[in-house]
Amino acid sequence: MKATIAQYYAGDSLLHRLDPRAKFVAVSALAVALFVRDSFAGLTVYAAAAVLAYALSGVPFAWFWRAFRPLLWLVALTFAAQVVFAPGAPFFSLWFIHVSWRGLELATYLSLRLVVLVLVGSILTLTTPSIALTDGVAWLGRPLRRLRVPTDELALMVTIALRFIPTLFVELDTIMRAQRARGADFRRGGLRERTRSLVPVLVPLFVLSFRRADELALAMEARCYRPGALRTRLHPLCAHWSDVVLLVATAAVIAAGLLV
Amino acid sequence: MSPSPDETAPLFDISGLHYRYAGAQADALADLDLEVHEGEFVAVVGANGSGKSTLARLLGGLDKPAAARRALACGHDLLSEAGRLAARRDVGVLFQNPENQLVAQCVEDDVAFGLENLAWPAADIGRRVDEMLARFGLEELRRREPHMLSGGQKQRTALAGVIAIPRRVLVLDEPTALLDPAGREEVLAAVRELRGDGLAIVFITQEMDETVGADRLVALERGTEAYAGDAGGLFADAALVRRLGLGLPAAGELALALAKQGRDLPGLPLTMDELLEVLGGAT
Amino acid sequence: MSGHEAVAGEAPDKPRGPGAPGSAGMSLVCGDVSFSYEEARAPIPALRDVSFELRAGGSLALMGASGSGKSTLLQVIRGLDAPERGAVRLDGADPADAGYAALQREVGLVFQAPELQLFAATARDDVAFGPRRLGWPEAQVTAAVDAALDVVGLPPARFAERHPYALSGGEQRRLALAGVLAMRPRLLLLDEPFVSLDPGTRRHLVDILERLKAAGVTLLLATHDVDLAWALCDELLVLGEGRVVAAGPWDFSTAGGRLLAANRLREPFIVELWRRLGCDPQHAPRTAAQAAEALS
C-alpha cells in the first residue's frame, strides 16, 4: 500500500521555487473565484490558467495522473448527480431520471470547477514539500495566535502526522498479516462481521500510536522542544519578487475570468 | 566542544535520588547516588525493572525526581523546573526505539530539529547539520524519509539529532536493544567515536558485552545500587552477576554453567581468550 | 493437548509438561519458490528459486542478512502470500490437493515482536482468538488455551484474567507465542523470536522451544543469533538476496567455515571453543550447560 497523500515531486521548476505562502494564497483565491460566477467562458479562462501552471511545474504526466485519476470518479459522480437532480424541464426521461438542458449546464459548470480545483490543488502539493506548505499556512494563520489558536503547534502536529503515515501503513499491514496468520479473515461476512473483525487490528494500532506519542514527546523535549517557544527553521520561508508576480498574475486571471 | 569552565565539578552530582511511579507498590529508584566527571564513560547495567530507564529520564531533566539530597546535572538543579529545562540543553538523551525519536520527514530536517528549537539562525543550523551528517555517515541519506531507513540508520539519525545540540554529557538508554547485529555495530561504533572525542557518556544497557572498556560500572537492582566500581570487580563476583539477571557474553554463560557444575573459576571471563586462560589454569 | 502434570517443587512460572500441540510434526518441502513484491515502478524479487527440505520433527535455522527474504519466506510458507512460481508442500501435499488448506491451518507463524498484536481484554481471550477462528467447540478452546498458557510459563490461574498490556515485556512475548501454540501447530515458524528480549526471558524461550521440539513439533527458526541457532536447530538454511546460499546440516569443515564467513556468520561460540581446545568442532555440544558437563 503506497500512500499518495500530499505526494511531492522533487523538481526545480519555477513553481517549485515560489514561496508556499504565495502559492497557497493564489490557489485559495482561485478556488473562491471558481464558484462566484456561472460562466463557461470564465471557467475556460481558469482552466487554461491551470493547464499553463501545470506546464510550468515540470511534473511528469504519470505522477500527476496518479494523484488526479482517483478523483475523476468523484467528478463523474457529481456530474451524474447534478444531471439527475437538477431543476428544469426535461428533454429526455428514462425511469426516474429526467435530463434537462439546465441540468446538463449546471453539471458541466460543477464538474469543470471540480476539475480545475483538483488540478490546481494537485499542482500545489506536487510542487511544495508538505513541511513547507504547513509552515506557510502556519505563517498565514499567525493572526489567529491572538485568539489563542496554537498555529505553530498545529503545524508541527500536521508535519509529524504526515511523517508517520507511511510508517503506520506498514505497521497496519504487519498487524493484519499477523492476525491473518491466526485465522482472521477481513473479507468475510456482512458489514457487522467485517467491522468486528477489525478490532484485532485497530486496537493494537491505537495502543502502538499512544505509546509512540508518549515516547516521541519525550524525545522532542530531550531536544529542547517547548510548545509556544520561538522556533527558527533550517529552510526559512523567504519571499521574492517572483512571488509578487505570481500574486499579481493570479489577480489578473481572476479578474479576466470574472469579466469575460 | 568548548571545555567546561570548571573541570573539577562533576557533570552529574546525584545523591539520595528517589522516584516512584503513581500507584506503584515500590520505588522505581531508591536512594541512588551517582557521580560522573568530564570525559568518563560510565556503564549502568540492570535487568528490566531495575530503574535504568527512569534514571535516564531523570538525568536528562525530563521528569521530576520525587526526592533527592542533591541532584545536579551540569550544575543545574533537577529538583527545580528551571533547572530541569536548563539540563535538557546540556544533557543529551538517546532512547531505545529509533522509530519514536524521528520527528521530521527527512533525515536532514530531523537532525535540525533540536537546533530549530533553540532558535539558532538558519545558516548556523545548516552548517551544524552538515557537520553531523558527515560525522555519522548520513550525507547520502540527507533527504531520505524515515520509513526508508534501516534500524541502524534511524538510530544514527536520532543520535545525530541529539548531538547536533552541543552537549556536555550524553545518556544512552539501551540504544541497541531493538537493532539487528549490523545496526548494533553501527551505533556502537558511533558511540565509540564520540567517546574518543572526549564526550562524557552514561551508557545504560542489559548486555554486559557492551560495557567493555567502561571507566566505571554501576549495577542497579530494583532501584538501588547493587555495585559501583570498575568493571573487573563485578565480573569477579559470579553470584552477584547471576543475581542481577544480566546478559552475559557466551564466555560468561559458560563460566556460570561450569560454576554450577561445582567447578569454581577465579572471576568471570568475558572473552574466548579469557575463558581459555581460565580453563587452562583450572584443569 | 496432552495434560499438564504439576511438577512438584518447580517455580510457578516455569514451563510445565511436554505441552505437545497435537501429534507428530509436519514435513515441509519448498520447491523453487519465487516471490516478488509489487512496487510502483518495478516488482522487487524477494525470493528466487528457494528449494529445501525439512523433515517432520526436524529443526531448521533460517539465517541471512536483513532484507535477504527470511520474513517473506516464512509468510509464504504459512500461506499469507502465494508464490509466483514453485510450491510449498506440507506433509507431501501440493497446494492443489484437497486437504492443503487444513494443513496450512496447522502451520503456526510467530511474527517479529508479536506482542504488538495483542488486543483482547484478557490474556485468555487473546490466546483463544486463533482456536475460535478455527471453529473449535468452546470446551476444546478452553483446554487448548489453558495448555498453551502452561507451556509458555503463564499458568492460567495467575494469568488468564490479566490484561495483556499489564504484563511485562517478556510475559507479553510469551503470551503472543501462546496465542499461536493454542492452535496446535505441527510446524512452527518463528521470525526472530529472541530480539529485544531480556536475558531471563530469552533463556525461558529457549526452554519452551526445546520442549516443543522434544514433543515432535517441526521447527523453523529465523534468527540472526548463531549461538541460539546452534542450540536449537539441527540444520541450517542461509539466504542471500532471496536465494539459497547454503542448506543442510551444520558444516564446520574448512569449506563450511568459508561459506559461513562469506555470509558474515561466525561460528557458534562453543564450536570455536571446541576447535581451540583441540576437539572436533563438528561434535561440539549445543548449549553452555552441556559444554560445562563435558568439560567437567
pLDDT digits (tens, 9 = 90+) for A106-139: 888 888 899 899 889 889 988 998 889 999 999 9
Tell whether B275 and B155 lie within a shared domain.
Answer: no
Tell whether B139 and B32 lie within a shared domain.
Answer: yes
> Which of these, C166, C224, C189, C147, lies nearest to C60 by C-alpha position?
C189
Tell whether B123 and B64 lie within a shared domain.
Answer: yes
Q: How many angstroms from the chain centroid is the CA of residue C261?
A: 24
Task: With a cut of 70, say whether residue B276 has pLDDT above it.
Answer: yes
> Which of these, B224, B109, B272, B247, lies nearest to B174 by C-alpha position?
B247
pLDDT digits (tens, 9 = 90+) for C121-158: 999 999 999 999 999 999 999 999 999 999 999 999 99
Determine the pLDDT at residue C15. Answer: 36
Q: What's the whole-number mean pLDDT along residues C185-202?
A: 93
Tell whether B278 and B237 lie within a shared domain.
Answer: no
Tell whether B241 and B275 lie within a shared domain.
Answer: no
Has residue B64 been placed in a domain?
yes
Task: Please give the backbone phi and psi of residue B90, each rounded to the nearest 5 degrees, phi first.
Answer: -90, -25
Q: What is the mean pLDDT of each run of 10 residues along chain A (260 residues)?
A: 59 90 95 89 92 90 81 84 76 74 84 90 89 91 90 91 92 95 88 89 95 96 93 91 94 92
Residue B124 structural domain: 12-247
Determine the pLDDT at residue B78. Answer: 97
- Contact flag B250-C195 (C-beta cutoff 8 Å): no
Q: What is the DSSP string of C145-169?
A: HHHHHHHTT--HHHHTTS-GGGS-H
Report the interhelical angle of A199-222 vs A151-181 (nearest 10°).
140
> Which of these, B219, B99, B118, lies nearest to B167 by C-alpha position?
B118
List % helix, strand, coil for chain C (3-state, nearest 5): 40, 20, 40
Confidence of residue C104 (pLDDT cuts 50, 70, 90): very high
Determine the pLDDT at residue C260. Answer: 85
Chains contacting A with at least 3 CB pairs below 8 Å?
B, C
Tell whether B141 and B272 lie within a shared domain.
Answer: no
The CA distance from C192 to C62, in Å, is 10
- SS3 of C32-85: the string is EEEEEECCCCCCEEEEEEEEEEECCCCEEEEECCCCCCHHHHHHHHHCCCCCCE
- Residue B87 CA: distances (Å) to CA of A224, B57, C60: 10, 11, 51
Q: Can you give the residue ranges of every domain in chain A?
A: 14-143+237-259, 151-222
- When mean pLDDT is compared across A208-217, B171-180, B224-233, C176-185, the lowest value belongs to B224-233
Determine the pLDDT at residue C263. Answer: 82
Burial of A13 (0-12, 13-18, 19+ CB in 10 A): middle
- A2, A185, A204: residue with CB nearest C117: A204
The CA distance from B208 to B249, in Å, is 7
Radius of gyration of chain A (CA): 23
- C75, C118, C130: residue with CB nearest A177: C75
Sign of CA dihedral A196, A199, A201, A206: positive
pLDDT digits (tens, 9 = 90+) for B109-153: 999 999 999 999 999 999 999 999 999 999 999 999 999 999 999
pLDDT digits (tens, 9 = 90+) for B262-275: 877 777 788 888 88
Count the alpha carbons within 13 Å of A43 in the hemisphere toward its beta carbon.
Answer: 19
Chain C residues with CB-CB distance to B248 below 8 A: 199
CATH number at residue B213: 3.40.50.300
Say which residue the cell 527440505 belongs to. C53
> Which of these, B41, B33, B71, lies nearest to B216 by C-alpha position?
B41
pLDDT digits (tens, 9 = 90+) for C262-273: 888 889 999 999
Chains contacting C with at least 3 CB pairs below 8 Å?
A, B
> Which of these, C58, C19, C13, lies nearest to C182 by C-alpha position?
C19
ipTM over 0.85: yes
Has residue B52 been placed in a domain?
yes
- B206, B251, B275: residue with CB nearest C199: B206
In chain B, the residue whose alpha carbon lies closest to the alpha carbon of C286 is B254
Number of domains in chain B: 2
Collapsed DSSP state (helix, strand, coil) of residue A197: coil
Residue B95 one-letter amino acid = F
Q: How many angstroms from the chain centroid is the CA of residue A52?
A: 20
- Contact flag B276-C277 (C-beta cutoff 8 Å): yes
Q: Can you give the pTM of this predicted structure?
A: 0.88
Q: How much of chain B, in percent, has pLDDT values that exceed 90?
A: 71
Has residue B5 been placed in a domain?
no
Confidence of residue C41 (pLDDT cuts 50, 70, 90): low
The CA distance from A201 to B259, in Å, is 48
Has residue B150 been placed in a domain?
yes
Q: Which three cell numbers stand for residue C199?
A: 536475558
Tell whether B117 and B75 lie within a shared domain.
Answer: yes
Q: Are B158 and B114 in contact (CB under 8 A)?
A: no
> Which of these, C24, C16, C10, lies nearest to C55 by C-alpha position?
C24
Determine the pLDDT at residue B241. Answer: 85
Task: With a cut of 60, say whether residue B256 has pLDDT above it.
Answer: yes
Confidence of residue C12 (pLDDT cuts 50, 70, 90): very low
Say which residue the cell 524525545 belongs to. A219
The CA distance from C158 to C268, in Å, is 38
Residue C34: which residues within 8 A CB-CB, separation 6 or more? C45, C47, C48, C49, C50, C83, C84, C85, C86
Q: What is the DSSP string of A33-56?
A: HHTT---HHHHHHHHHHHHHHHHH
Per DSSP, what are the bridge partners of residue A51?
Answer: none
The CA distance from A106 to A93, in Å, is 18
- Contact flag A224-B114 (C-beta cutoff 8 Å): yes
Task: With a cut of 50, say whether residue C6 has pLDDT above it.
Answer: no
| Cβ-based contacts under 8 A for chains A and B | 95
Q: Are C178 and C141 in contact (CB under 8 A)?
A: no
- Contact flag A166-B147 (C-beta cutoff 8 Å): yes
> Which of these, B138, B92, B89, lies nearest to B118 by C-alpha position?
B89
Walk me through the domains of chain C, giving residue ranges and CATH numbers.
Answer: 28-265 (3.40.50.300)
Tell whether B177 and B254 lie within a shared domain.
Answer: no
Chain C residues with CB-CB distance to B47 below 8 A: 198-200
Per DSSP, what are the bridge partners of residue C236?
Answer: C61, C248
Chains contacting B with at least 3 CB pairs below 8 Å?
A, C
Tell whether B44 and B149 lie within a shared domain.
Answer: yes
Q: Are B208 and B240 in contact (CB under 8 A)?
A: no
Confidence of residue B280 (pLDDT cuts 50, 70, 90): confident
pLDDT digits (tens, 9 = 90+) for B65-124: 999 999 999 999 999 999 999 999 999 999 999 999 999 999 999 999 999 999 999 999
Confidence of residue C23 (pLDDT cuts 50, 70, 90): low
Chain A residues with CB-CB distance to C78 below 8 A: 181
- C199, C224, C293: residue with CB nearest B247: C199
Residue A16: which residues within 8 A CB-CB, separation 6 or more? A57, A58, A127, A128
Q: Are B210 and B43 in contact (CB under 8 A)?
A: yes
